[in-house]
Amino acid sequence: MKRTIALLLSTSLFLVACATAPTLYGPKNKDGIGFAEQKIESNRFTITFSGGTDASPLEVEKFALRRAAEMTIENNHTLFHVISKSTQRVGGHDNKGTNVGVSAGGGSRGSGVGVGIGFDLTPTRKSYETYLEILTSDKMLDTVSQDMVYNARSVLDASTLDQVVTE
């Protein structure tokens, strides 16, 4: 009985230690989750949003676009043009799961069979980060594809709707 309690307690502590903070929208926190931006020129910015292990690539991209919309309005513009965008996995590894191996052999002194079972119990702990480079303006730019132009107010309105649906 004492062994069972000790095993349950150690397993619970292991799982708590593996947990990360949830991905919430805001400036980058001590866990490295959130947004950061840098002004390159008066209307040109880079934005990164780093998610926790609970955030999908799409959620991380939406948070980066939300920050781009906020910065556009803060700079008294209505549109932002995405010049460059990338989302990538950072950290973690793919969990290999369970592996089973079987071998058999024989020779003049006898024969034998071996079975091996392996378990990968390490958490995957992968997360995603989106990088944006944007230009803010009040009119369409000829040099940017229309697919990459966003109305800042519309993006903010859509992100508010996402929050209402998911909370």
Predicted confidence (pLDDT) per residue in 73-110, tens digit: 999 999 999 999 999 998 765 555 666 666 666 666 76
Torsion of CA 85, 150, 75, 157, to 10 degrees: -110
Give the CATH class of 19-93+126-166. Answer: alpha beta
Of 80, 59, 47, which Cα lies nearest the Cα of 154? Answer: 80
- Between the alpha carbon of residue 7 and those of residues 2, 4, 14, 17, 145, the distances in Å are 9, 5, 11, 15, 58
- CA torsion, ordered 142, 147, 153, 158, to nearest 10 deg: 180
pLDDT surpassing 80 at residue 155: yes
DSSP-derived 3-state class of residue 136: strand
Short-list 8, 60, 47, 71, CA closest to 132: 47
> 32 and 24 in contact (C-beta within 8 Å)?
no
26: left (phi over 0), alpha (psi -120 to 50) or beta: left
| Lowest-confidence pick of 8-22, 58-72, 93-107, 136-150 | 8-22
Per domain, the residue ranges of the chain are: 19-93+126-166
